[in-house]
Amino acid sequence: MRILITNDDGIMAKGIYFLTKELEKYFECIIVAPDKQRSAAGHSITLHRPVVVKLHKLDGINSRAYTVDGTPADCVKVALEKLLEEKIDLIISGINDGFNLGTDVIYSGTVSAAVEGAIYKIPSIAVSIDFHGDDEYYSMAANYARKIVEMTKNKIKEDVVLNVNIPYAKEIKGIKVCNLGNRVYTNAYIEKEVENGTNQRIFQLAGTVKDGDDGDTDVYFIKQDYITITPLHYDLTNFKILMEVEEIIDGGNTDEKDS
């Protein structure tokens, strides 16, 4: 099995090191990652300038590695379109420093890199842990990531992303496959002082997370010390209300009925 590994924390992040160190014992791995921190890049891609790709050597890692001076989605696109002639069987993005729970997946560069893989019809996994993990926590998370790869190998559809979050806990209770929860932020923008006479105002985002408490969601189960797995897809259609919206539009389209 050949795995493309990427992230949004940059090539020098601990998460990509520990993930690759574990996976390359069992699989062929290739790293293509941003040259620097790209958290919260979402699914943005670089349009108005070229991206620069460089070979990179990670100490203690045997796998081939490249840096891209672009976004996580850029890394996957460039890897699949130009860098790699080999067939990629799986894409793993992570291990991210910080959970990607609930609505965080909309902003996440980690998840977006995995989604880009699914767009190319390659099964993909995004892996995230709590902030500021120590080496033992990263190592444990990498071990669970490898087990999830082995459990799901050749069993998940080619256009599916598994969003995995691993709690910081003395004892992991198990794995829960669950819905995305509701995670919003009180977007407290702190205004910074500026010199008198300047015609500008400066704001720094410093939001506080406010989780919903609904059961059967990743936000709920991560607090109960479960690993959470949520299957994601890039088709954002709300199928639950598709017919309802169609009826509303048909009912309001009086011009067509009157003609």
Residue 8: per-residue pLDDT: 96
Domains of the chain: 2-180+214-258 (3.40.1210.10)
**Residue 185's beta-bridge partner residues?**
209
- 216 is an annotated ligand-binding site residue: no
DSSP letter string over 152-204?
Answer: HTTTS-TT-EEEEEE---SS--EEEE-B---EEEE--EEEEP--TT-S--EEE
- 39 is an annotated ligand-binding site residue: yes
Q: Which range, of 124-128, 182-186, 230-234, averages the lowest pLDDT? A: 182-186
Q: Is the pLDDT of residue 149 over 90?
A: yes
pLDDT digits (tens, 9 = 90+) for 188-210: 788 888 877 778 889 888 877 77
pLDDT digits (tens, 9 = 90+) for 15-31: 999 999 999 999 999 99
Residue 80: per-residue pLDDT: 98
- 62 is an annotated ligand-binding site residue: no
- 128 is an annotated ligand-binding site residue: no
- What's this model's pTM, rounded to 2 decimal places? 0.92
| Largest Cα span, the chain | 73
